[in-house]
């Protein structure tokens, strides 16, 4: 059985590396994308179990990525990470775009893993 493929859209190389290692050690197969556009292309080319995206990235924000994904897949678990959580209407975004959770930076990688596991196992009904 293959590990669930999770797209990580993160333009900070250090954070991307940490997330990748944490996901690998937790039984996931991370697919690292340096911006939202690359993540969108990866989503179209792969069968993914979940997407975790930074909000502020070059070429396409996390919310823009989520809108594109939701246009063709309403159910894939989507987690959003932002350094500006207080500036976003997170409740509205979670409801409008079926985002599992919005994490403010800094966040606990263990909490992210827990939310990912729950969302994937429940096929995103936990979102």
Homologous superfamily, domain 5-121: Response regulator (3.40.50.2300)
| Bond preceding residue 67 cis, omega within 30 of 0 | no
Rounded Cα distance, 54 and 46, in Å: 19
Per-residue pLDDT tens digits for 14-27: 989 999 999 999 99
Q: Where are the domains of the chain?
A: 5-121
Q: Are residues 39 and 53 in contact, defined by beta-carbon separation less than 8 angstroms?
A: yes
What confidence score (pLDDT) does residue 124 get? 42
Q: Which residues contact residue 68 at a Cβ distance below 8 angstroms, ignoring those fewer than 6 apart?
A: 40, 60
Rounded Cα distance, 104 and 71, in Å: 25
Rounded Cα distance, 114 and 67, in Å: 24
Per-residue pLDDT tens digits for 30-55: 999 999 999 999 999 999 999 999 99
């Amino acid at each position: 059985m293959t590990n669930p493929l999770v797209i990580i859209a993160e333009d900070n190389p250090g954070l991307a590396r940490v997330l990748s290692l944490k996901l690998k050690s937790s039984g996931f197969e991370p697919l690292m994308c340096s911006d939202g556009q690359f993540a969108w292309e990866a989503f179209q080319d792969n069968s993914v179990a979940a997407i975790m995206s930074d909000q502020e990235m070059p070429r396409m924000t996390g919310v823009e990525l989520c809108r594109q994904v939701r246009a063709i897949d309403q159910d894939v678990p989507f987690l959003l990470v932002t350094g500006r959580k207080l500036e976003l209407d997170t409740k509205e975004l979670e409801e409008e775009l079926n985002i599992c959770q919005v994490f403010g930076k800094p966040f606990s990688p263990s909490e992210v893993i827990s939310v990912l596991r729950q969302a994937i196992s429940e096929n995103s009904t936990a979102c």
